[in-house]
Amino acid sequence: MTEREHGAFSSGPFAKGHGTGNDFVLVADVDGSAPLTPERVRALADRRFGIGGDGVIRAVPSGRAGDDALDAAAHGAAATVWAMDYWNADGSVSEMCGNGVRVFVRYLLEQRLAELPDGGSIDIATRAGVKRVVRRGALLSADLGGFELGRDSLVAADGLDVARPGLAVSTGNPHIVVALASEDELRDLDLQRAPALDPVPADGANVEFVVPGVIADGVGSIRMRVHERGVGETLSCGTGAVAAAMATRHWSGDAADRWIIDVPGGRLEVELDERGHAWLTGPAEIVFRGETLSPVP
């Protein structure tokens, strides 16, 4: 019997949103009574039999999330904050999603579950800790906190002549950043198959391929494509943009603290503040609302 015949959906409202084309199905669970399951996530994220998305996000009060990692009190914040329960399209959970946290806040505002005046901030519990999101006009900025540079590995991908060195970067979730020599190389990559990593990271990794551009007036530029853990190639990855900026900054000898990252779905900005926190700024939109029907939409 297939997952669809099992009835992985239950009826209820949802919204669909995206940040630079990285798209998510969003559901609210105000009393913590509707936890997600891998089957439900895969059904909702299915682009042919479901709604479709790179991920599924449940909005739940942090104290009711039913997951210690999403308990804001454990991170020293108020237990009343909203928690972003983020799942990849394949039914796996991730610690963090940089585009997702902005789209999540936009969803809370549209659903009137939170208020955020221009310049104001809101704290969101994630599995990578509590993140602060600030409204800047039409854009949202998220303080994704510190990052860690890790070890080099070898990355092979379809379209590349030989395996290339990749630098591990943790932004709460795992990334490997690979510098390419030209925009032609970036364009000719075929990311339908996951890149092969050596050594293979225990928890997998998101892999960003970047072409660093010029650094002018303290601002660097990067073109990026990404293969996401648990999804495949996506049009954008916010934590991936942070990883790409911090790896490129490292390779440049810390030449700039502000980076513009162009991805297939648009443009993101990453800025490192004086505390060593990486801020991710970009658009976040809700594009439609609907209702799932049981057992299939």
Query: What residues act catalytically?
Result: 97, 237
124, 140 Cβ separation under 8 angstroms? no
Is residue 98 part of the contact set for ligand LBFN2T5F (CB under 6 A)? yes
Q: Cis bond leading into 38, ω under 30°? A: no
User: CB of residue 81 vs ligand LBFN2T5F: minimum separation in angstroms?
Assistant: 19
Distance, in Å, from the CA atom of 266 to the CA atom of 19, rounded to the nearest integer, reads: 9
Of the candidates 78, 187, 190, the one whose C-alpha atom is nearest the C-alpha of residue 130 is 78
**Nearest distance from C-beta of residue 1 to ligand LBFN2T5F, angstroms:** 29
238 among annotated binding-site residues? yes
CA–CA gap between residue 247 and residue 253 (Å, rounded): 10
Written as six digits, the tokens of 34 are 């509707």
Stretch that binds ligand LBFN2T5F, among 127-135, 150-158, 228-236, 253-261 (CB under 6 A): 228-236
Nearer to ligand LBFN2T5F, 65 or 84 (CB): 84
The window from 36-44, 59-67, 92-100, 210-218 that contacts ligand LBFN2T5F (CB under 6 A) reads 92-100
CA-based R_g, the chain, Å: 19
Q: Cα dist. 157→35, 185, 186, 245 in Å?
A: 36, 11, 11, 21
Q: Minimum Å distance from CB 148 to ligand LBFN2T5F?
A: 15
160-199: contacts with ligand LBFN2T5F (CB under 6 A): 173
Q: Interface with ligand LBFN2T5F by CB under 6 A: which residues?
A: 22, 55, 88, 94, 97-100, 173, 206, 228-231, 237-240
